[in-house]
Structure 1
Amino acid sequence: MDSGASSGGASNMVFVASVFVILAIALYYFYKWLNGSDEQKDMVIYTSPDSGLPGKSDKVVRFGTTNSDIPPLYEGGEYSVSTWVYITNWGVNKGYNKPFLTLTGGSGQGGYATMIMYLGQNVNKLGIRVSTEDNKLTSAKLEHIRPVTGNGYGVSPYTDAAGDFKKCDIESIDMQRWVNITAVLNGRTLDVYIDGKMTRSCVLNGMFKVDGDSPELMLGGPYGFGGIIGQTVAANFAYSPDRVYKIYQNGPLDTSILSKIIGIFNPAQYSFSIKRNGQEIV
Structure 2
Amino acid sequence: MKSRHLSVIAALLIAGLSTAAAHAATSAATEEVKNIVLVHGLYADGSSWGKVIPLLQAKGLHVTAVQNPTTSLDDDVAAVKRALAQQDGPVILVAHSYGGMVISQAGDQPKVKGLVYIAARAPEAGEDYPALTKKFAPAPASAGLKWQADGYGALSESAFIHDFAGDLPESEAKAYYAVQQPAAKAITTAKTTAAAWHTKPSWYAVSAQDRTINPDLERFMAKRMHAQTIELNASHVSLISQPEAVAGLIIKAAHVPGY
Q: Name the one with the larger strand percent.
A: 1
The bucket for the TM-score relative to the shorter chain is under 0.3
Larger RCO (CA under 8 A, 6+ residues apart) = 1
Normalised to the residue count of structure 1, the TM-score between the two structures is: 0.25
Q: Decide which structure has greater helix share.
A: 2
Normalised to the residue count of structure 2, the TM-score between the two structures is 0.27
